Amino acid sequence: MKRTIPLLTIILLIAALSYSVISQDVTCTFTAFDPNFNSSVSFTLPSPANESWQTTTDGNLSIHVSNELGETMNVSFYNSTDILLGYNNSVTNDTTVNITHPQSPYNNYQQYYWYATVTSTTYDNQSATFWFKGEAWSYDINRDATVNQTDLDSLHSSYLQATSSRNDINNDGTVNYLDRSKLQHHWGETHS
């Protein structure tokens, strides 16, 4: 027995199938272009340089700041416990910002930590944390906080030479008996 399907049923089936194919949701994903995407603040030339010895009388901190959008920025300096050391508002782009460290003059051998932050219309960024130490006493040539034989050996390595190195303890341009005398005067001292 042959079965026939009325033409109207076939047309309705085709229409239903076509409607279900046509009415499927089409999902598109796209990433909107954000002009600030990948934009950043650059922190360069920290002074004192990271992990350096700093003269005890020079109490300046500075850092060069710039951003890709050229915006004016507010720059603040903090210590390692997030205490504000100083700030400079309305800093133009691509500028070195300076402040005087409130704890200067620095203590010999003491380690100081600091970082900078930038806020602007678009940015809210923080630099790495930098550190430096207040300079060692001049007669502690190798900066190990003890005046001993290693300091004397260092002094002897350039004895009677013209130099501007740490071996010239009294800064007269030549390593000589005056430097040795000052070192021996402080022999055995320890500092922290």
Residues 164 and 182 in one domain: yes
Angle between helices 149-157 and 177-185 in degrees, nearest 10:
170
Residue 88 β-bridge partners:
75
Contacts 24+ apart (CB under 8 A), 38-41: 38/68, 39/67, 39/68, 39/69, 39/122, 39/123, 40/67, 40/68, 40/123, 40/125, 41/65, 41/66, 41/67, 41/73, 41/118, 41/123, 41/125
Residue 23: both structure tokens together = 């009415």
Number of H helices, E strands in the chain: 3, 9
Domain that holds residue 74: 41-134
Of 149 and 191, the one with more pLDDT: 149
Q: Concatenate the DSSP letters of all residues of 101-161 into one string.
A: -TTPSPPTT-EEEEEEEEE-SS-EEE---EEEEEPPPTT-TT-SSB-SHHHHHHHHHTTT-
pLDDT level of residue 57 (50, 70, 90 thresholds): confident
Q: Which of 134, 165, 180 is the endpoint of a domain?
A: 134
Averaged pLDDT, 20-39: 45
Residues 49 and 106 in one domain: yes
Q: Smallest Cα–Cα separation from 117: which of 91, 141, 137, 136?
A: 91
- 147 in a domain, yes or no? yes
Q: Can you tell me the distance from the alpha carbon of 98 to that of 104, in angstroms, rounded to the nearest whole number?
A: 14
Total domains in the chain come to: 2
Count of all residues that appear for the chain in the document: 192
Q: What CATH number is given to the structural domain containing 100?
A: 2.60.40.10
Q: Which of 110, 134, 158 is the endpoint of a domain?
A: 134
- 29 in a domain, yes or no? no
- 82 in a domain, yes or no? yes
Query: The whole model's pTM is what?
Result: 0.71
Residues 130 and 145 in one domain: no
- 191 in a domain, yes or no? yes
Dump pLDDT digits (tens) for 108-164.
999 999 999 999 888 789 999 999 999 999 999 999 999 999 999 999 999 999 988
Q: Which of 134, 162, 184 is the endpoint of a domain?
A: 134
Q: Is the pLDDT of residue 52 over 90?
A: yes
- 25 in a domain, yes or no? no
